Copies of this chain bind each other. A is one copy, B any other.
Amino acid sequence: GFAGDAAARYSSTLGVAAVTYGAGAFNMVNAVAGAYAEKSPVVVISGAPGTTEGNAGLLLHHQGRTLDTQFQVFKEITVAQARLDDPAKAPAEIARVLGAARALSRPVYLEIPRNMVNAEVEPVGDDPAWPVDRDALAACADEVLAAMRSAKSPVLMVCVEVRRYGLEAKAAELAQRLGVPVVTTFMGRGLLADAPTPPLGTYIGVAGDAEITRLVEESDGLFLLGAILSDTNFAVSQRKIDLRKTIHAFDRAVTLGYHTYADIPLDGLVDALLERLPPSDRTTRGKEPHAYPTGLQADGEPIAPMDIARAVNDRVRAGQEPLLIAADMGDCLFTAMDMIDAGLMAPGYYAGMGFGVPAGIGAQCVSGGKRILTVVGDGAFQMTGWELGNCRRLGIDPIVILFNNASWEMLRTFQPESAFNDLDDW
C-alpha cells in the first residue's frame, strides 16, 4: 500500500499495490485512505473468490460480512472501481478505472475473481477522454494572469498536485516567466528541488522561516498551485491566510476569491498560462533561499533531532548529492523539514503513521538506483519497519534513520535487522 503509493508519488505516475483478497486488502485500507487524502494514484488490485465460489454454501475464509464487503469498503476510499468478471468488458473497465486514477490522481480499485485470472482479453485501450472546455480554460487562465499581474507581491505556492501531474519543470518555468518567488506548502516540501531556481522554502507559518511566513501572509496575489487546503498546510498560520483572497487550483477546479471554474485540469491550466507568457531570463530575486542548519558539533550532549538534520546537511555541504527523503509521521517529519533534500515524501496531511519505511522502499524500487533516505520514529517503525526485510530480496539499500526517542540515541539506533550498511555513509 504505502510502497505503491510512494512509487506513484516518486515517479508521478500510477503506483500499483496487489493484495490478497480479504485480510490482505483490509490491511491496506489505511494506506489507501492516506493515498486518497494526499492524491496519490495507487491502483489497488485485489484477487477475489471465483465468480461461482460464492454460492458453494460454505463461507470462504478471508471474507468479511459478505463477499461484497471489500468492494464496498474500497468504494469509500477510491475514485473508481471495477470487478473484472466479464472478459469482454474488462478492457473498457480497466481503461475507465485507470483513466480516473490519472485524471483525478486518486486511488482506484480493481478486483479480479480467481477464475478470471487467466481470461484472455483484448488489449486495454487509451484512457477515455475527460473533456476539457477550451474556452473555459482560456477564460480561467486570463483571469489568473490578470490577478497575478495586478498584485503587488505575488507568490506562487506549490503543493503535491504539481508533482502528481508531473508539472515540476513547468511550474518552475511558470514562476520564472511570472517573475514571482516560489514557496512550497508543508505537504509540498521537496517540490521543484531540481529547478534552476529552487523554492525559497516551505511555508509552515509561525513554526517556520519568518521571512517566508511574512512573504506568504502579506502576499496580495497568492497562487496555490495544486494545493491541498488541509489544516496541516494552512492552520499553522497564526494570522490565518484569508484563503478567500487567494487563487487556488486543485482537484480540477480553480477558485479565485469567491468564484470557481469547474473542470480545469491542472496541466491544461499551466500550459495555458505558459502560452500567455513570454520566456524570461530574469534571474534577480530579492530573497535568499532558506538557510538550512549545518555544522554538527561533537559535544557529548545527547543527540537532539536538529543534530540529525545538521548531520544530513553537513554531508551535502561536503559535496554529496542531497537525497530524496521519505519521512514518516512524527518528530522525524518536522526534523526532515530542516534537511537539504532532493525531494520529500511524507504523509503531511493524512498524518498516518507507518508510511516512511515502505515508502522509502517503494520509491527506491522505481528510482533507477538512487538511494532514498528514510526518517522514521520508533513508534511508526514498529508498524511497518519490518518491511525492511524485503530489501535484500529487492536488491535495494535505503538509508534508514530511526528516531528512537525512548533512548534518544538516534544515530546509533540504525538497526535494520538485515545486513545493509546504513551507517557507512556518515
Contacts and interface: CB of A to CB of B under 8 A. Distances in A.
A383 interface: yes
A77 interface: yes
Contacts of A77: 64-65, 69, 73
Nearest to A354: B27
Interface in A330-360: 347, 349-354
Interface string A15-43: 00000001100110110011011000000
Nearest to A55: B131
A259 B263 CA distance: 10
Contact of A351 (B33, B62, B73, B230): B62
A76 interface: yes
A196 interface: no
Interface stretch (A132-140, A165-173, A203-211): A132-140
B349 A61 contact: yes
A50 interface: no
Contacts of A57: 229, 243
A36 B26 CA distance: 13
A234 interface: yes
A22 B382 contact: no
Contact of A140 (B30, B259, B354): B259
A235 interface: yes
Q: Quick one: copies of this chain in the complex?
A: 4
Given A59-B349, A259-B261, A382-B386, 19 more contacts: A23-B351, A26-B29, A26-B33, A27-B354, A27-B383, A29-B73, A33-B69, A36-B64, A57-B243, A58-B234, A58-B235, A58-B243, A59-B229, A61-B230, A62-B352, A72-B76, A73-B76, A73-B77, A140-B258
Interface in A60-109: 60-65, 69, 72-73, 76-77, 88-89
A370 interface: no
Contacts of A350: 22-23, 61-63
Interface centre among A30, A235, A259, A347 (most CB of B within 10 A): A259
A232 interface: yes
Nearest to A59: B230
A295 interface: no
Contacts of A317: none
Interface in A371-393: 381-383, 385-387, 389
